[in-house]
Amino acid sequence: MDNVILKLILAFVTGGFLLGQVMSYLNHRRRKLPAPPGLEDVFDKEKYLKYRNYKRDAFRSDMLEHWAAFILMMALLLGGFALIDELVIKISGNKLLQSLLFLGIAGLISDLIATPFNVYDTFVLEQKYGFNTTTPRIWISDKLKSYLIAAVAGGGIMALLILLYNWLGSSFWWLAWIAVTLVSVFFTLFYSTLIVPLFNKQTPLPDGPLRDKLNELARETGFAVQDIFIIDGSKRSNRANAYFSGFGSKRRIVLYDTLIKTMNVDSIAAVLAHEIGHYREKHVVYGLVRSVLQTGFILFLFSRIVNSSAVYEALGASGPGFHLGLVVFVLLYSPVSLVLSVIGNYISRKNEFEADAFAARYSDGKALARALRKLASDNLSDLTPHPLYVWFEYSHPPLADRLARLE
């Protein structure tokens, strides 16, 4: 039985890797196509050459990183996980500590493999093409803060799940579902006030022509302007962005300072109307509900296999453990996860169309179209993505589709 499980895991990991490589290659080849009708002016001749070179270099870097991650996973499956399990058993006899150490070591190994590629992407690739503004000091600080958050928040949640499992056995899933749901709601409400300030400074939008324009938009849409903030995204990148988070009294719209520097008042108002559209259409709330239901489904399925002896035998481990069951489940669950990801991306793309339509009703649709075109140009975005790649990977519709809907 253990060989069957191991073969399934190897097949799923290999299949997922090959699927990703094929989609990336097909999408990369599409970059040779001419721009869709109406988008010929998004890139001038010089910027088009820059776009092609950037995407070529990024494709090669991504391919190498994916191969490194694939080889690492194969090494872990074919004995690496068993060695880590033996190590944590020697370090401690406490089951809780064993699981936390195992997951921490495995995560650290994975991060160490990914770090050289991240350094290259940030300080070579992004620097070469004019996107990077971060410094080695900020990068190291971000990395250390990310480790701290993972240890405190991630480790805390995982410790709670393990304690519930040790207490209730396979029936732990329903209480764990409640706990994870409460944590998810908490972070949705307080992400912008607890996590973001660790990395960026957020300031309320000051008085001026932009504020006046947004006051008018707020009256029409019923959204409080005091919930609009500017974030200093320029300390890390020249890319412009905006996002919406939270709900109820904790809702917040955040505009990157790079967006304000590169767009006029009408375009920014249109972008803001789009973000307000996500709130008015209740996309955040619906997304949270879907996430909660999916978490319950995952925990229930996990509870069905975590006690199986075939789980740890498949990895070559000497005995059972919550962490071993978690590793096997995540890998066996990958086909289901892929399907749910495709569905989630479809819903997300649909939500973007709805937010665009909302923005066109309450602001200047042409200004939004200009903003989308400028964002695509400044960020060197693909204009001709492969349909298969869009279906699997895109949470936002391609630019041509969004502009067609707006028109």
Q: Which residues contact 397 (CB under 8 A, 6 or more apart)?
A: 349, 352, 353, 390, 405
Tell me whether residue 93 is exposed, middle or buried, using C-beta atoms within 10 angstroms of its C-beta: 0 to 12, 13 to 18, 19 or more.
exposed
Q: Which residues contact 306 (CB under 8 A, 6 or more apart)?
A: 165, 170, 322, 325, 326, 329
Q: Indicate the residue among 228, 245, 275 that finishes a domain.
A: 275
Q: How many residues does the chain have?
A: 407
* Per-residue pLDDT at 190: 85
Instruction: Specify whether 62 is catalytic.
Output: no
Pair 74, 88 in one domain: yes
Pair 293, 230 in one domain: no
For residue 237, give the CATH number of its domain. 3.30.2010.10
**Nearest to 31, CA basis, from 52, 59, 46, 53:** 52
- At position 53, the amino acid (one-letter code) is N
Torsion of CA 250, 251, 252, 253, to 10 degrees: 180
Pair 103, 54 in one domain: yes
Residues 254 and 242 sit within 8 Å (Cβ to Cβ): yes
Max mean pLDDT range (85-94, 211-220, 341-350):
341-350
Comparing 92-101, 152-161, 193-202, 318-327, the range with the smallest average pLDDT is: 318-327
pLDDT single digits (tens) 162-197: 999 988 888 899 999 999 999 988 888 888 888 899
| Distance from C-alpha of 3 to C-alpha of 314, rounded to nearest angstrom | 6
Domain that holds residue 76: 2-193+281-406
Task: Indicate which residue of 121, 126, 352, 356 is catalytic.
Answer: 356
* Per-residue pLDDT at 214: 84
Residue 229 belongs to what H/E stretch? strand 228-231
Q: Indicate the residue among 236, 258, 275 that finishes a domain.
A: 275
Query: Looking at the predicted structure, is the pLDDT value of residue 226 above 70?
Result: no
Pair 380, 304 in one domain: yes
Using alpha carbons only, give the angle 67, 68, 70 rounded to the nearest 5 degrees.
Answer: 60
In 97-227 the beta strands, taken as DSSP E runs, fall at 202-204
Q: Indicate the residue among 275, 308, 338 that finishes a domain.
A: 275
**Nearest to 321, CA basis, from 167, 165, 175:** 165
Pair 224, 360 in one domain: no
Please report which confidence band the pLDDT of residue 243 belongs to, taking 50, 70 and 90 as the band edges. confident
Please report which confidence band the pLDDT of residue 1 belongs to, taking 50, 70 and 90 as the band edges. very low
Pair 215, 94 in one domain: no
* Per-residue pLDDT at 321: 81
- Six-digit token pair at 106? 């495995």
Pair 264, 128 in one domain: no
Pair 165, 224 in one domain: no
Instruction: Specify whether 275 is catalytic.
Output: yes
- Six-digit token pair at 112? 């160490």
If you ran DSSP here, which 8-state letter would residue 33 be given? S
Pair 113, 142 in one domain: yes
Task: Indicate which residue of 121, 126, 227, 275 is catalytic.
Answer: 275
Helices (H) and strands (E) in the chain, counts: 18, 4
* Per-residue pLDDT at 93: 86
* Per-residue pLDDT at 2: 52
| Distance from C-alpha of 98 to C-alpha of 322, rounded to nearest angstrom | 9
Residues 192 and 202 sit within 8 Å (Cβ to Cβ): yes
* Per-residue pLDDT at 31: 92
- Would you call 132 helix, strand, or coil by DSSP? strand
- Six-digit token pair at 177? 């579902």
Number of domains in the chain: 2
Pair 15, 74 in one domain: yes
Pair 167, 265 in one domain: no
Q: Are strands 252-256 and 228-231 parallel, antiparallel or unpaired?
A: parallel
If you ran DSSP here, which 8-state letter would residue 36 be given? P
Q: Which residues contact 7 (CB under 8 A, 6 or more apart)?
A: none
Pair 262, 297 in one domain: no
pLDDT single digits (tens) 111-147: 999 999 999 999 999 999 999 999 999 999 999 999 9
pLDDT single digits (tens) 5-39: 888 899 999 999 999 999 999 999 999 998 888 89
* Per-residue pLDDT at 230: 92
Sheet strand arrangement including 228-231? 202-204, 228-231, 252-256, 242-245
| Distance from C-alpha of 9 to C-alpha of 325, rounded to nearest angstrom | 13
pLDDT single digits (tens) 279-314: 889 898 899 899 999 999 999 999 988 877 777 787
